[in-house]
Amino acid sequence: MNFTAGILAGPLCYLISVKSVLLIGSCANVIGMVGASFAPTLAWMSFTLGFVHGMGGGFIRTMLQVFLSTNYRKRIGMAHGLMFAGAASSSFVFPSVLLSLRKAFSTRGSMLILGAILLHLIPLCMLIKHQNRDDRSKQAPNDGSIQTTEELTKSETSSRPCFRIAKDAGKILCTPTFYVIVISWLIVVYTIELFFMTIVDFAMDRGLSAENVVTLLAGYAVTDLCGRILLPVAADNQYVRTSTLMAVNYFFLGSSVLALPEVWSYATLLFTGALAALFMGCGLAMHGVLMAKYIGTERLPLSYGIAGLLSGPMVFLKPVVIGYYRDNIGSYNNLYRLLGGLLLCLCAPWSATTLWECHQDRKRKLQQQHLYSSCKTQEPPEKLAIPSRDMTGDC
């Protein structure tokens, strides 16, 4: 539910503010965790911890990306990287904290304490100041022009949420790059989830001990954190195009995932997995940057909703995929080969996007040079001779 909550969060932004959606997500996040601590059955646990808590977390995740994309345009990559760095940083502390809480207060008590900690989300969300599109339109300067009845009727109709949603949805669905972004995001999410869910069993099958596997995960967390924070800065500082960064990122990510079935020692598994985690972090953090650049900040909430609607069914198939390769095939080698091949296929559309952007930039520069040269060669108009008039002669 964390990745598909945008289906509801996006359209809600057309009815209420982003801040209100954040508060709803925070309350749902807390209620789901606290309710799970009193769960008498597995169905209750699935509803509270799985649906309510996951939906609240998805609301927060989606709306934070909208907020960062709108308010941190110059450092949008670093802003998204720092947001996603929280999840990677928690892997250094949270497992030991959760284990200590479970030993001291049992599982139910630990969930209740975590729910109390999550209560801090509500005042934090209240501190966020976000200017909605309606507020910006109200602050538009009045030039003194008078609107006709037809223009007023058209503006009132277009300001209705249902018409705005339909209009923005049409523009989003007519953008080819949107589908490239959604497919890229889906494959990256699949790779991240399946990699960290299967790498422990994969390493154990390679003959590594439990102690070595723990150090592997720690090394992967470090490079994952670096990928989420450092690599997006290259696009912020315009060292490289965003599309070029994505093409290079998916090439190295796909190559490193493809190499996983061929490594057997601890050192090679550490290096290959750490390299894959580095580019996984970059791909995850750059998703919001790509949405803001190619879709536009005005349509961001709905774009996340449509992306969740298109990719939602595939997200729920992850347990089936893992079970198939583990139980029927007997190893994860072909799974990594499949993921690596899909990631390498993503290089093609992003490379095409880079070439198209270079062509557009070259065309724009030629037009500017032609305009400048035409203005430079144009002769200035001759001064009109204004005859002097003798005022005394008329008297």
Mean pLDDT check: name the lowest of 57-66, 160-169, 336-345, 370-379: 370-379
Range with lowest mean pLDDT among 22-26, 113-117, 159-163, 245-249? 159-163
Q: Is residue 293 part of a domain?
A: yes
The C-alpha angle 3, 76, 89, rounded to 5 degrees, equals 60
Q: What is the rounded CA–CA span in Å between residue 196 and residue 273?
A: 10
Contacts of 75 (CB under 8 A, 6+ apart): 236
pLDDT of residue 189: 86
Reading the block at residue 140, the tokens are 């538009």
Burial of 102 by CB count in 10 Å (0-12 exposed, 13-18 middle, 19+ buried)? middle
Of residues 210 and 258, the one with the higher pLDDT is 258
Whether 139 has a pLDDT exceeding 60, the answer reads no
The residue-averaged pLDDT of 28-50 equals 87
Which position has the higher pLDDT, 112 or 330? 112
Tell me the one-letter amino acid at 157.
Answer: T
Mean pLDDT for 139-150 is 46
The position carrying tokens 């646990």 is 45
Mean predicted confidence (pLDDT) in 343-362: 88
Confidence at residue 380, expressed as pLDDT on a 0 to 100 scale? 54
| Within-domain flag for 57 | yes
pTM of the model: 0.77
Residues of the chain with pLDDT > 90: what percent? Answer: 5
Question: Does residue 100 belong to any structural domain of this protein?
Answer: yes
Q: Which of the residue ranges 104-108, 307-311, 380-384 would you say has the lowest mean pLDDT?
A: 380-384
- Domain total for the chain? 1
Structural domain contains residue 385: no
Q: What's the CA gap between 206 and 211, in Å, rounded?
A: 14
Calpha distance 76→236 (Å, rounded): 7
pLDDT tens-digit map of 145-195: 444 444 434 444 445 767 777 787 778 888 888 888 888 888 888 888 888
Between 311 and 262, the more confident residue is 262
| 206-243 residue pLDDT tens | 887 777 777 788 888 888 888 888 888 888 888 888 88
217 burial class (0-12, 13-18, 19+ CB within 10 angstroms)?
Answer: middle
Q: What confidence category does residue 376 fall into, taking pLDDT thresholds of 50, 70 and 90?
A: low
Tell me how far apart the alpha carbons of residues 156 and 159 are, in angstroms, rounded to a whole number: 5
Query: Domain of 26?
Result: 6-128+162-356
CATH number of the domain that 39 lies in? 1.20.1250.20
**Residue 138 CB partners (closer than 8 Å, separation 6+):** none
**pLDDT recorded at residue 252:** 93
Does residue 381 fall inside a structural domain?
no
Question: Alpha-carbon distance 260 to 272, whole Å?
Answer: 7
Quick: pLDDT tens for 284-315.
888 888 888 888 878 888 888 788 777 777 77
Mean pLDDT of 378-392: 49
Give me the pLDDT at residue 221, please: 83
- Residue 250: what pLDDT? 92
pLDDT for position 6: 67
Mean pLDDT of the chain: 79
Please, which pLDDT band fits residue 345 given cuts at 50, 70 and 90? very high
Give pLDDT, residue 394. Answer: 45
Residue 372 lies in a domain: no
CB atoms within 10 A of CB 251: 17
Lowest mean pLDDT among 64-73, 154-163, 215-224, 350-359: 154-163
Classify residue 389 by burial, with Cβ atoms within 10 Å: 0-12, 13-18, 19+.
exposed
**Looking at per-residue confidence, does 46 or 96 come out higher?**
46
Q: How far apart are CA 118 and CA 215, in angstroms?
A: 29
Which pLDDT score is estimated for 166?
79
Kindly state the tokens that stand for 174: 């007519």
Please check whether residue 291 lies inside any domain of the structure.
Answer: yes
C-alpha to C-alpha distance for 76 and 297, rounded to whole angstroms: 12
CA distance 280 to 226: 10
Output the pLDDT for position 382.
52
Query: Which pLDDT belongs to residue 251?
Result: 94
Identify whether 313 is part of a domain.
yes
Q: What is the pLDDT of residue 255?
A: 92
